[in-house]
Chains A and B, each alone.
Chain A
């Protein structure tokens, strides 16, 4: 969480003046800031993105993570250079750091983020670690408007690893699948409390490793949180 505060401060510091057709702007998008009702205690989780830049070139920060009631925390942080390359797509290059209780790992990120046909928000990336490890991830979400303010957002995330990573409980191949279903109510455009479901499921060797460690391989959680941007 302290990293989170640090990131917030970076973005809040300068108030950029809007000048010309292509002003220097910033945006902080707290996509998810939520409580998860998990077996064995509540968890807090976040998924936050922010950028600063102009129409074509931006610096992006992305972070997502989870902390448990016993104060263990795992999260990832990405610092990316972002360049608009197509009407609906940005290319993103940069660094990803994983911060786990037992380990830290750095990756090189190469990704595309944008709006896929069908209005599907998509973030797909390949990650290369210095020890030769390779991973990939695809995230996609969609907005279903029941009214102009009541919006259901289904989202999926799929992770893949090329090699086993026993320290972190990851096996090679498709490792995990997350499905989210969040019903937001937009009090304003920028402020929306929500409630929903978060379901994750481990696959293949990752699931075997979890079972061997006596952990669940799938979990359905109720979530409640806030989605905010500024």
Chain B
């Protein structure tokens, strides 16, 4: 299907969609299609917006709670911009505390990026800040507060930028599918609970029964060997998510599973789904039983279409997929990575229909390899096939082969683990995947639809380690938290490789503001651009960066309760 579009360049469907862009999308996808009757999310269009941040009482679990919202809406209204226009957004803060809005993944001047303390002071209570910048890109993005924990309490919304050029794929209708996590607990209490007892929300810890089952299945010797490492490291192989379904309710477009957010389609339509992970702490595995999903964009940028059954979406990532439902109803199923709960919605021919909700997969259990300790047996020494570490810089597109160096600052009470043999995990969909024979998207599948935007070879390499101490609930980079770190200095317009080494046993979605992360997935001619990169436990991953906007930028893990520590200031200067 897609190859046909590539070859012919223009398809009938693409033509129709493109021609009717301004009106047809609204009629087909957003309003008339029924989204308004089942989903209260507002859609605001144009290039001139008045947004008002305030409080609103919501009740998502049976208990009324105060949320932080935009224009009274949770999630915040969908903003629909047009590539090539200049947008002006007046954001009024009606909270009792400071606030901010950050346009996630948007390339813009540093003082418009909306991160307090980074060329921007935040928005004081009662004040209005006017954001104004040209929109140079298109695709699916999102926006959220960058002030303390307001993102957890609802301050996030979808950002859709319609392209100037016709899109390289066709669809009849579209829906935003924004995934998030909601807790009735105050985020300030969640983080304090974690600091006082880091496994506070983990109700999937090893039990006596798990131990006897392991002995029964694997025998004494294997069990003893397996347990020895975990006992020595004092880490739990069941530690997948810090904050879980024990406090979270997972939402689709602000709706809990039972509310069953429904996106409508007409028989045999092609439907574009814009998935956005706006959760504070939850990585989701997404599938729609009965439908193949053709992924056409990642983090807002076109990729060569790849058809999968399932994909993992890290916090702050976006994926656009096209599905072809036939009739009836299909469940949108997004299970949390630790299987402690799921977000659920429905694609249906008419409101009120639903399809079975599948059982969750077994919760993942970490292995020694997830600690970057190397593996035994047949998988061993995969990395030995690579050239030996040297001073030379690897060619663009293939990642780094520089030696893994743990900085002296990584040795101390603040770091509980260092991956000695971090693996490249581009071909691995992640812990707990794949399951049940399903084809799951991997980063190796991501190839830019366009030629590599900046084909220069990297001039230098930066190796940055994601570090932490789980039991103390401390997070850092290279063992140093944000408060104590010097800015990372980047030269304007240089071509740089950043290699992230994950010296922890958790997945970290790392977001670099202000410039693209050109992810090295193995094809130097089609390097995909991302704004958020999920780094697997005990793994390493490389991307190329062209810092073309001067100023100070934030660079951090997007897990909300890791962020304050695992954070760097990036300074781009001539």
Residues of A close to B197: CB separation below 8 A = 189, 229
Known A-B contacts A115-B471, A145-B205; the reply to A21 vs B196 at CB < 8 A is no
Chain B residues packing against A (C-beta within 8 Å) = 188, 191-193, 195-197, 200, 203-209, 231-232, 234, 413-416, 469, 471-472, 474-476, 481-483, 564-565, 567
- Is A13 in contact with chain B by the CB < 8 A criterion? no
In the complex where A18-B191, A87-B469 touch, is A117 in contact with B207 (Cβ < 8 A)? no
A55 interfacial by beta-carbon distance below 8 Å:
yes
Tell me the complex Cα distance, A50–B415, Å. Answer: 24
Q: How far is the CA of A87 from the CA of B483 in the complex (A)?
A: 20
Q: CB distance B472 to A18 under 8 Å?
A: no
Q: Is the C-beta of A215 less than 8 angstroms from some C-beta in chain B?
A: no
Q: Are B472 and A145 in contact (CB under 8 A)?
A: no
Residues of chain A within 8 A of B564, CB atoms compared: 20-21
B413 and A21 contact, CB distance less than 8 A: no
- CB neighbours (8 Å) of A17 from chain B are 188
A56 to B191, CA, bound (A): 17
User: Is A84 among interface residues, defined by CB-CB distance under 8 A?
Assistant: yes
B365 to chain A minimum Cβ distance, whole angstroms, is 15
Pair A118/B231 contact, Cβ less than 8 Å = yes
Q: Are A18 and B483 in contact (CB under 8 A)?
A: no
A residues contacting B by CB (< 8 A) are 17-18, 20-23, 25, 27, 55-56, 84-89, 115, 117-119, 144-148, 189, 229
Cβ–Cβ < 8 Å partners of B209 in chain A: 146
Q: How far is the CB of A196 from chain B (nearest CB, A)?
A: 17
* Residues on the B chain within 8 Å of A118, using CB: 231
A27 in contact with B196 (CB, 8 Å):
yes
CB distance from A81 to the nearest CB of B (A): 15
A117 x B231 contact (CB < 8 A): yes
Collect the chain B residues with CB atoms within 8 Å of residue A85's CB.
413
Contacts of A22 in B (CB 8 A): 474, 481, 483, 565
Beta-carbon contact of A145 and B207 below 8 Å: yes
25 inter-chain pairs at a CB distance below 8 angstroms, sorted by A residue, are: A20-B564, A21-B475, A21-B476, A21-B481, A21-B483, A21-B567, A22-B483, A25-B192, A25-B196, A27-B196, A55-B414, A55-B474, A84-B472, A86-B413, A87-B413, A87-B415, A87-B416, A88-B234, A88-B416, A89-B413, A115-B471, A117-B231, A117-B232, A146-B209, A148-B207
Given contacts A87-B416, A145-B205, 11 further A-B contacts (CB under 8 A): A17-B188, A18-B192, A20-B483, A21-B475, A27-B196, A55-B472, A84-B414, A88-B416, A89-B413, A117-B234, A229-B197
Contact A229 B232 (CB under 8 A): no
Rounded to whole angstroms, the CA-CA distance of A18 and B188 in the bound complex is 7
Given contacts A84-B472, A145-B205, A146-B207, contact A56 B195 (CB under 8 A): no
A229 contacts across to B, CB distance below 8 A: 196-197
Q: Are B471 and A88 in contact (CB under 8 A)?
A: yes
Q: Is the contact region of chain A dominated by helix, strand, or loop, or is it mixed? A: loop
Shortest A153–chain B CB gap in Å is 13
A86 to chain B, nearest CB (A): 6
Q: Collect the chain B residues with CB atoms within 8 Å of residue A56's CB.
A: 413
Q: How far is the CA of A18 from the CA of B473 in the complex (A)?
A: 14
Q: Which of B207, B209, B475, B483 has the most CB of A within 10 A?
A: B207
Residue of B nearest to A189 (CB): B200
Task: Determine how close the nearest CB of chain B comes to the CB of A26; give it in whole angstroms.
Answer: 9
Could you tell me if B234 and A115 are in contact, using CB atoms closer than 8 angstroms? Answer: yes
A129 and B474 CA atoms in complex are apart in Å by 37
A21 and B194 alpha carbons, distance in the complex (Å): 12
What residues of B have a CB within 8 angstroms of the CB of A21 in the complex?
A: 474-476, 481-483, 564-565, 567
Bound Cα distance A189, B192 (Å): 13
